[in-house]
Structure 1
Amino acid sequence: MRIVATALLALALPLTTAQAPAEKAAVALGSVIPAPSEVRPGGTAFRLTDRTVIEAPRGSRNVAERLAEALRPATGYRLPIVERSSSRKISLRTGHRDGYRLTVGRDEIAISAGDNAGLFAGVQTLRQLLPPAIDAATPQRARWLVAGGEIVDRPRFAYRGAMLDLARHFHTPAEVKRYIDEISRFKVNHLHLHLSDDQGWRIQIDSWPRLTAVGGAPGTGVDGVGGGYLTKAGYRDLVRYAAERYVTIVPEIDMPGHVNAAQVAYPELTCDGVAPPPRTDTAVGYSSLCIGKEVTYRFAEDVIRELAALTPGPYLHIGGDEAHATSEADYVAFQQRVLPLVAKYGKTAYGWNEIDQAPAAADAVLQYWNLEPTVTLRHASKVVLSPANRAYLDMKYTPSTPLGLSWAGYIEVRTAYDWDPTSYVAERAILGVEAPLWSETLRDLDDIEFMAFPRLAAIAELGWSPHRDWESFRERIRAYYPRWETRGVDFYRSPQIG
């Protein structure tokens, strides 16, 4: 099979004589983010009309519903979902071995994949092959053409993640859902939620109710704004919403550092039994659970047990970063007791790269956030790469960016795109990549979108695509701008994109 390295090749290929003249108005088959593995333009375009149906087996009904939900508003078409049809159709089929295959002809668009997650990935590609007006919320006058040909596509890494910090500033479930909608368009399949920190506690824990009564109260968060928390019902609803879009929620409770909010609520978690003052600043590294007290491990186990019961996904993140107030010996002792608790409750432990100091991290996944250009694994065998000077979406684009921080440097779009995960560690050790977005300077959805896009799309392509080509990405992301504009996404217009 010939591999087409970038969308530029697809853009450069001339129309074949078999293609209908109308196809000249269609989006080029390779103009997709993340870049597909293989693109073979050719044949006749498919035209979506009011007679088109969506054909899907009963087991793939959710994917079909997500597709119909995406296409109905702008087209105004019914797009009924059926199990079998001889009409002009978009068909969804399971059975393809790896990734997905999308084939476009005059009478049918066929998407086949090994499972529903693969079908959903194919649906995201199809959405980008329709004109940008397809993202409008009301019926549009447009010719809904999809260029003829075939895409064969598969992910480079299994884990392609984004992280959103709810602790420094609480973002509402509606905002989180909107973020899920946007990241899933780029085949991001994990959303890591940072649920506790020095400034706030954002998830209900029944056995320790003051965590949210105090740590989620109004006035918590950086600068005393952004109070709130997720009830268990609200968290379950987010998990369900994400799962319908083939995104797995990864919850994080940070410890033994970043625990000031918990200690305000429960002074027994300090070594002297005295509650510290609430913190609304952005300092780090000053708080620590008391490693020698048994209440610390009762607290840790209760939180892990309740959170694991709420979370169907395989991972539970226990933080572990910037524990500067914990001695190295105490830190290792803490991890030796707490990391096995995650497995006790049926989850894979996941933590920032500092946890690799402990032998118990051998069965855990590390999240690498440091600035060094290489990763040395002492105990763990799998890593998710989030180097702060490349992947942290809360870093300013330039010195004049109104939001964000700059301690890891300035991250313009090309800086976020132009790095190779395998330069940090051998590919066999890489579970995937993740783009964290910390909330010290964020306040609302517009802030989230401005800092995330287009850099999140760049990280998503690194996680999915087998090839990296800045000029190709630059052209494709520029062509994507009208889609964000149609949806009202407040993205950053980088001068590097033009």
Structure 2
Amino acid sequence: MRPPGTFPRLFGALLLVAGAGAGCFAGDGGGSRQGSGGPAPGAVPALGRVVPAPASVKPGGTLYTLGAKAAIRVDDSPEVRRIGEYLAGILRPSTGYALPVTPGPGTDGVQLRLRPSERALGEEGYRLESSAGTLAVTAREPAGLFHGVQTLRQLLPAAVERRTLQTGPWTVPGGTITDTPRYAYRGAMLDVARHFFTVDQVKRYIDQLAVYKINTFHLHLTDDQGWRIAVDSWPALVTVGGSTSVGGGPGGHYTKAQYREIVDHAASRYMEVVPEIDLPGHTAAVLASYAELNCDGEARPLYTGVDVGFSSLCVDKPVTYDFVDDVIREIAAITPGRYLHIGGDEADSTSPEDYAAFMAKAQAAVARHGKTVVGWHQIAGSEMAEGSVAQYWGTDGTEPGEREEVAAAVKKGARLILSPADRAYLDMKYDSGTQLGLKWAGLVGVDRSYDWDPSEYLADAGVPADAVLGVEAPLWSETLTTSAQLEWMAFPRLLGVAEKGWSGARSWEEYRVRLAEQGPRLEARGVVYHRSPKVDWPE
């Protein structure tokens, strides 16, 4: 996830910013704002000026006006009705309208329709049609309807996102949007191991991700500084290993019921959870919890620093593989999604031979319990299991040999998730004045997080475009302790990565215009964000 030995000791700075909450953070010349009015209540962006950009936009005809007597008409199915209630929950507080969710046909109001015959829309595509009398969202699958609702809310004036009564009119430009995603995997990761975040904080972040059509939520549950998920067969993992965090602050963990709550909430936003159990390195919390998992049989002290690469499970002990199988079995049993992430990075204390042997057994355990392996791209240094996925976190300056190793794995059938640290890591500083975050991968301004093409990123190493499964924006938490801090580092950079996953290559100059219009929407939703001077935000 990052090179070893590159972190300064940040605890003093961390204390300065830990309580900053929703206030402004230094960096890139900007701060954060909440509560400004944004554009005039009647202002409406042109059809298609949303994030991510739609695949096809055909403006024309008369705009649609949501009136006080409008209904949300849905197909008579529980899932479509639930999407309708979700939309009504967004619109009712600001408009003051009743907006009943009504099964059955009709020509007025907002219509949400599933049409299995619409094969071209695939699993996540939708068509939005706006005219004087009706606004219709059509999809082949419920996920497509949900994504269409996210576009609809961005086409209404920004004030529609507020939780208090606002003044209309509530209009949408006329025309048709037909939209399908570029990549099947569009992810975001949250590190809850370095600092713990509660179920409600995680659910808040999931809700923010859903607006921008993210469909995968990678939860980094374990690391040197903390183990955050209960495992019945190894209870000390949370009672000991989960008791602290970076800097020695309080830890925390999720019970299995709480983890299921997160998984269920993500599913309600059409998002698949990918749990990560980082192995065989990044395991200091494990080695402090159970003496027998150390080669010398002596428990290690809890670790609260930020160095990497020093810890490793004892690869030669049979008990190590009992532990691995138990953990993977229990986590797989409460994870309905396809993937289970086993880390695999920065195992500097494990020899290459031991690493390869360990990874073979860990991957076999994942397959045995019905999941597909995901690992950080160092996993390509071992024999990757059939169908497995490598997550690339290198930078433009990553050693060619490492990139070629990834390319070799692709030739054998591996797929790739791209998370280049100097483009997609949301914990990198915006500029040299940013108080939060790190800079080992360089400074990542809002423009740099957008100005890259996933299909070409590893082309020079021989990776074909069709090997890319998708993109992911990780957010590591060494310096982050509050939701406000998470948001300020994620937004607006997350939007750029989301667009790379959904729409593909666009110009920065075109994108920055659409990004500026997101400012009032973020404010209306109460999201703390970085007002980069590289974007002409509305006053």
Query: TM-score normalized by structure 2?
Result: 0.86
Among 200, 208, 224, the alignment partner of 2:226 is 200
Letter in 1 for 2:160: I
Q: Aligned with 2:512: secondary structure?
A: helix
Q: Kindly indicate whether the alpha-carbon contact (under 8 Å) linking 2:74 and 2:105 is maintained by their aligned counterparts in 1.
A: no
Query: What is the rounded CA distance, in whole Å, between the counterparts of 2:211 and 2:267 in structure 1?
Result: 14
Q: Partner residue of 2:375? A: 351
Q: Partner residue of 2:450? A: 417
Query: What is the rounded CA distance, in whole Å, between the counterparts of 1:83 and 1:282 in structure 2?
Result: 54
Q: Partner residue of 1:328? A: 352
Letter in 1 for 2:416: V
After alignment, is 359-368 or 223-232 more displaced? 359-368
Q: Partner residue of 1:432? A: 470
Query: What is the rounded CA distance, in whole Å, between the counterparts of 2:422 and 2:105 in structure 1?
Result: 51
- The CA deviation at 1:427 is 1.7
| Unaligned runs of at least 5 residues, structure 1 | 1-22
Query: What is the rounded CA distance, in whole Å, between the counterparts of 2:239 and 2:504 in structure 1?
Result: 47
Q: Kindly indicate whether the alpha-carbon contact (under 8 Å) linking 1:171 and 1:226 is maintained by their aligned counterparts in 2.
A: no
The answer to whether residue 292 in structure 2 is matched with residue 268 in structure 1 is yes
Query: What is the rounded CA distance, in whole Å, between the counterparts of 1:194 and 1:288 in structure 2?
Result: 18
Q: Partner residue of 1:4? A: none
Q: Partner residue of 1:481? A: 519
Question: Aligned Cα RMSD in Å?
Answer: 1.4
Query: What is the rounded CA distance, in whole Å, between the counterparts of 1:312 and 1:152 in structure 2?
Result: 30
Query: What is the rounded CA distance, in whole Å, between the counterparts of 2:194 and 2:105 in structure 1?
Result: 51
Q: Aligned with 1:422: secondary structure?
A: coil
After alignment, is 246-255 or 46-55 more displaced? 46-55
Query: What is the rounded CA distance, in whole Å, between the counterparts of 2:361 and 2:42 in structure 1?
Result: 63
Query: What is the rounded CA distance, in whole Å, between the counterparts of 2:384 and 2:231 in structure 1?
Result: 26
Among 388, 402, 409, the alignment partner of 2:435 is 402
Query: What is the rounded CA distance, in whole Å, between the counterparts of 1:426 and 1:66 in structure 2?
Result: 39
Query: What is the rounded CA distance, in whole Å, between the counterparts of 1:472 and 1:66 in structure 2?
Result: 31
Letter in 2 for 1:79: L
- The CA deviation at 1:52 is 1.0
Relative contact order (C-alpha < 8 Å, sep 6+): which is higher?
2
Letter in 1 for 2:378: E
Query: TM-score normalized by structure 1?
Result: 0.93
Letter in 1 for 2:308: V
The answer to whether residue 318 in structure 2 is matched with residue 294 in structure 1 is yes
Among 44, 51, 67, the alignment partner of 1:33 is 51
- The CA deviation at 1:105 is 0.9
Among 166, 189, 194, the alignment partner of 1:140 is 166
Letter in 1 for 2:89: E
* Equivalences for residues 352-367 of structure 1 within 5 A: 352-367=376-391
- The CA deviation at 1:26 is 2.8
Provide, for residues 288-333 of structure 1, a one-character-per-residue CA deviation record: whole Å limited to 9, x for no partner. Answer: 0000101110000000000001101111001000000000000000
Q: Kindly indicate whether the alpha-carbon contact (under 8 Å) linking 1:361 and 1:380 is maintained by their aligned counterparts in 2.
A: no
Q: Partner residue of 1:13? A: none
Query: What is the rounded CA distance, in whole Å, between the counterparts of 2:378 and 2:413 in structure 1?
Result: 11
Letter in 2 for 1:329: E
Query: What is the rounded CA distance, in whole Å, between the counterparts of 1:349 and 1:208 in structure 2?
Result: 22
Q: Aligned with 1:254: secondary structure?
A: strand
Q: Kindly indicate whether the alpha-carbon contact (under 8 Å) linking 2:42 and 2:168 is maintained by their aligned counterparts in 1.
A: no
Q: Aligned with 2:190: secondary structure?
A: strand
- The CA deviation at 1:343 is 1.2
Q: Kindly indicate whether the alpha-carbon contact (under 8 Å) linking 2:453 and 2:504 is maintained by their aligned counterparts in 1.
A: no
Provide, for residues 91-125 of structure 1, a one-character-per-residue CA deviation record: whole Å limited to 9, x for no partner. Answer: 11122321111000111111111101111110000
Q: Partner residue of 2:152? A: 126
Query: What is the rounded CA distance, in whole Å, between the counterparts of 2:138 and 2:452 in structure 1?
Result: 31
Q: Partner residue of 2:67? A: 49
Provide, for residues 50-75 of structure 1, a one-character-per-residue CA deviation record: whole Å limited to 9, x for no partner. Answer: 21111112141221121111111111
Query: What is the rounded CA distance, in whole Å, between the counterparts of 1:25 and 1:176 in structure 2?
Result: 32
Provide, for residues 167-207 of structure 1, a one-character-per-residue CA deviation record: whole Å limited to 9, x for no partner. Answer: 00001111111111111100001110000000000001001
Q: Partner residue of 1:78? A: 98
After alignment, is 416-425 or 287-296 more displaced? 416-425
Q: Partner residue of 1:93? A: 113
Query: What is the rounded CA distance, in whole Å, between the counterparts of 1:377 and 1:311 in structure 2?
Result: 30
Report the CA distance shift for 1:380/1:197 in structure 2 as closer, same or farther (over 3 A). farther
| Unaligned runs of at least 5 residues, structure 2 | 1-40
- The CA deviation at 1:358 is 2.1
The answer to whether residue 193 in structure 2 is matched with residue 167 in structure 1 is yes
Letter in 1 for 2:137: I
- The CA deviation at 1:77 is 1.4
Q: Partner residue of 1:443? A: 481
Provide, for residues 370-427 of structure 1, a one-character-per-residue CA deviation record: whole Å limited to 9, x for no partner. Answer: 1238552424521000011111111101010010000010000111000111121322
- The CA deviation at 1:348 is 0.6
Q: Kindly indicate whether the alpha-carbon contact (under 8 Å) linking 2:43 and 2:157 is maintained by their aligned counterparts in 1.
A: no
Q: Aligned with 2:240: secondary structure?
A: helix
Letter in 2 for 1:353: H
The answer to whether residue 361 in structure 2 is matched with residue 337 in structure 1 is yes
Q: Aligned with 2:364: secondary structure?
A: helix
Provide, for residues 20-63 of structure 1, a one-character-per-residue CA deviation record: whole Å limited to 9, x for no partner. Answer: xxx99432102100011111111111111121111112141221
Q: Kindly indicate whether the alpha-carbon contact (under 8 Å) linking 2:429 and 2:443 is maintained by their aligned counterparts in 1.
A: yes
Letter in 2 for 1:214: V
Provide, for residues 136-194 of structure 1, a one-character-per-residue CA deviation record: whole Å limited to 9, x for no partner. Answer: 01111110001110001110000000000000000111111111111110000111000
Query: What is the rounded CA distance, in whole Å, between the counterparts of 1:434 and 1:361 in structure 2?
Result: 21
Query: What is the rounded CA distance, in whole Å, between the counterparts of 2:376 and 2:153 in structure 1?
Result: 35
Q: Partner residue of 2:274? A: 250
Letter in 2 for 1:399: S
Aligned-pair identity (%): 53
Q: Partner residue of 1:10? A: none
Q: Kindly indicate whether the alpha-carbon contact (under 8 Å) linking 1:196 and 1:254 is maintained by their aligned counterparts in 2.
A: yes
Query: What is the rounded CA distance, in whole Å, between the counterparts of 1:413 and 1:114 in structure 2?
Result: 34
- The CA deviation at 1:365 is 0.8
Q: Aligned with 1:468: secondary structure?
A: coil
Query: What is the rounded CA distance, in whole Å, between the counterparts of 1:283 and 1:380 in structure 2?
Result: 33
Query: What is the rounded CA distance, in whole Å, between the counterparts of 1:77 and 1:484 in structure 2?
Result: 22
Query: What is the rounded CA distance, in whole Å, between the counterparts of 2:42 and 2:57 in structure 1?
Result: 17
- The CA deviation at 1:80 is 1.1
Q: Aligned with 1:366: secondary structure?
A: strand
Query: What is the rounded CA distance, in whole Å, between the counterparts of 1:467 and 1:109 in structure 2?
Result: 29
